[in-house]
Structure 1
Amino acid sequence: MTRPQPTAQSHPAGPSSPAERLTLFDLPLDVIDLEGTLARLGGWMFRAPRAPHTVVTLNPEYIVQTRNRPDLVAAVQEADLVTADGIGIVWAARQLHGREVPRAPGYDIVKGLMARHGAELRVFFLGARPGVAEQAAQNAARDYGIGVAGVHHGYFDLPEDRRVAELVGASGAHLVLTGMGGGRQETFNQYWRQVLGAPVIIGCGGVIDVFAGTADLAPTWTRKLGVEFLWRVGLDRKRWNRAPRLAQFVRMVRAERKRR
């Protein structure tokens, strides 16, 4: 089953608009650090009246996927905030724009919002295998005191999208975490943003698994260097098929730099 591509929506500029936005392969990238990201999202979450905002943490895999995914291109282009998730994006910005772009990875964003807002924050955990989101919610409530707006696994097909989106929309969540795999979560978030209704909707990949304890967070030294992706690929056979995308991304950046 296919669904129509998301229609373009306009997001009015205002005080919350990023100060600077670069472009990488037709995709936006906001020049904003983690602290600035937390402040911006905190403002969105508790502003009245409520308005939905989507957040994308951009990595090289997404850029490679967009070469034949117009729906993903639209989802990223229409996102309200696009941060640099990994060192590959930082490197690409340096090569193509001569700019140092700070990182704001998904895990750090989610953890930072929970630590900063605690009990005033209601979070919906949407993603991972059945039972994992429940465990992640329990752990987050215990460790950060957040309110759990709801939970739902990420293993559902397109015909169920509306039902799940309406479930989230009825929860009154300030923050929705969608962990359904890169590409799927971003297109879901953008297409259903008005139904989801939450002030902040962020595709967070395996972050729900990390909070649940079913996946390990990369060591601190790899995260400081921005090479946690390489650490994960090296240890997890299931991720080995993703390594060629990273090589393709490097070739894309080098070709674009040469063209310029």
Structure 2
Amino acid sequence: MNLVMRAGSAAVLCTALATSVAACNPTDPAKPAAASGTASAAPSKPAGPLDELSGSEIAQKAIANLKEASTVHYAGRAKDSGQTIDMDITLVSGKGCKGSMTAGKGSVKVTLIGTTMWLKPDRAFWTANGGNDPTVLAMVADKWIKTSKTGDMGSSMSGLCNLNKMLADEVGDTNDLQKGGTTTVNGQPALRLKATGDPSVLDVSDTADPRPLRMTDVRSSGRGTLNFTDYNSPVNLTPPPASETVDGKSIGM
């Protein structure tokens, strides 16, 4: 498995896998106890909350917890066809999402509520994508474009908000995942996971209920990385003000 983050047409796809496992060496009961006055054996490492699970079991549990979260924020950078793509999205389970994506010479804010999507490209985006007509720019500059997530413009962005599609497309078989060393991600203790021969990495919280904290594709130029934070935090999704909105149908979008 690979961690691949693509966002051509703004669809985000990701995958992750894990590292080698270190095993404890229990003290040989046949050996005599250290004599008084000599260095005693180092105390055994306390059992970790995930010690009894395999790497693949941990990954499956972490992915399930991600999918079950009421909200989660993800942010990161990826490369697609030589283009750098920055994503900053908050997902609200069963309701929609909000955030932004920057690709090339422009950025787009997005809000999805149900099946209705609002997009707010900045002026740099419009200019870079052929929106040089002053009349058109006057209509859409600094405006939200209201459309459907199944429309031409909306469907190209809706992948940003579809966690199930992202995971289904890229996670695939987790049977080869192995446990690796511990690390810290954004101040949280984490366990590193990967597959044999695959340099991509999944860091999950080192807790009884693990959650993905970071996915990293070490082969991506600049190290493609996706961070997951703010699980189950309160989030409100509200439509943009009508005074700042243009109906996409009225301008052929």
Larger radius of gyration between Structure 1 and Structure 2: 2
If asked which structure has higher relative contact order (CA below 8 Å, sep 6+), I would say: 2
- Structure with more of its chain in strand, by fraction: 2
* TM-score in terms of structure 2 length: 0.26
- Structure with more of its chain in helix, by fraction: 1
* TM-score in terms of structure 1 length: 0.25
